[in-house]
Amino acid sequence: MPVFQELPLLGTERINRAYLRISVMAPELAEKCRPGMFFELKAGLPSQTRRLFKPISVFEASEGKISFLIKVVGPGTRALAELKPGEPLLLLGPLGNSFHLVKGQNALLVSGGIGYPPLAWLKRVLEPHNRVILVHGGSCAEDLFPCDRGYTLDGSSGDRGLVTQDIMDIIKTENIDIVYSCGPLPMLKALQACVGDLPHYASLEAYMACGLGACHGCAVPVGEGWQRVCKDGPVFAASLIRWEEL
């Protein structure tokens, strides 16, 4: 059951140039978080009064603290970057479902861009019970974060190219049993093409308004009709997603 709260920002930290990491202390909320879940966030600044909340994945929830890793792309995320410690952060959540957890498997985690935070956390959660490989891609060095294999479009860090380019190889050589993914749609689509019949859980993105399942704004083609990323997702079994419509 999601909660709406206004909490003082604990800390804010610039990472690379375009990213920031922010956190709040919220033991009860942190308890409820699982990898894949997200919050609708908004900076408690006058400029944001009439603006929408923005969906942001939980990057880490431990010891009562919840933190988020955010890329500044537009007005909403820019305002989050302006928020100073002690100023109010508005949170609605935790929202959505979470990744299906397994044991004793070889798990491949594939993230692109701002798909990184939920998989980074998933990795830490899976690792005690599984062998986990996290590959991550972005457009330049700025977009790279700690992972087992990194890719950049411009080759400025890690391997040059797409995060999906070596997936077939990795699946074979590492004997992968299960795939988890989060990132931009074209990446997920290309990934699903490589994954074949392996179990694959993909976390999808969508523009959101309510975050609660009320407005049907975040619909994606899953199963027979549309499913709501905010309420039915964000994690879907990749086999149920109608990829050709994305």
Partner 1 sequence: MNRLATALGRLRLKSPVTVASGTFDTGYFELFDQSALGAYTTKTITLAPKAGNPPPRLYETEAGLLNSIGLQNPGLKAWLNEDLPLLRDLLQIPLIVSFSGSSEDEFLRVLDGLELQEGIAGYEVNVSCPNVAKEGIAFGADPDVVFSLASSLAALTRRELIFKLSPNVTDIAAIAQAAEAGGASSLALINTLYGSAIDWKTGRFRISSFVCGYSGSGIKPVALALCHKVALAVRIPILALGGIHSWQDALEFFWAGASAIALGTAFYSDPLAAVKLRQGLEDFLRENDLSLRDIIGKAR
Per-residue binding letters, 205-224, with ligand FMN (x by CB under 6 A): ----x-----x-x-------
Residue 176 C-beta: closest distance to ligand FES, Å: 31
Using CA atoms of 212, 18, 124, 233 in order, give the dihedral in degrees to the nearest 10.
Answer: 20
- Which residue from 22, 2, 54 is spatially nearest to 205, judged by alpha carbons? 54
Does residue 78 belong to the site contacting partner 1 (CB under 8 A)? no
Contact string (CB under 8 A) for partner 1, positions 38-57, x = contact: ----x-----xxxxxx----
Locate 4 and state its tokens.
């709406």
What DSSP letter does each residue of 71-91 carry, written as one string? E--SHHHHHHHHPPTTSEEEE
Under rule CB under 6 A, residue 4 binds ligand FES: no
Closest CB 213 distance from ligand FES, rounded Å: 5
Contact of residue 70 among ligand FMN, ligand FAD, partner 1, none (CB under 5-8 Å per partner type) = ligand FAD
Contact assessment for residue 150 and residue 109, using Cβ atoms and an 8 Å cutoff: no
Amino acid present at 114 = I
Per DSSP, the three-state class of 109 is: strand
Single residue of 53, 211, 227, 241 touching ligand FES by CB under 6 A: 211
Q: Give the residue with the Cβ less far from ligand FMN, 66 or 95.
A: 95
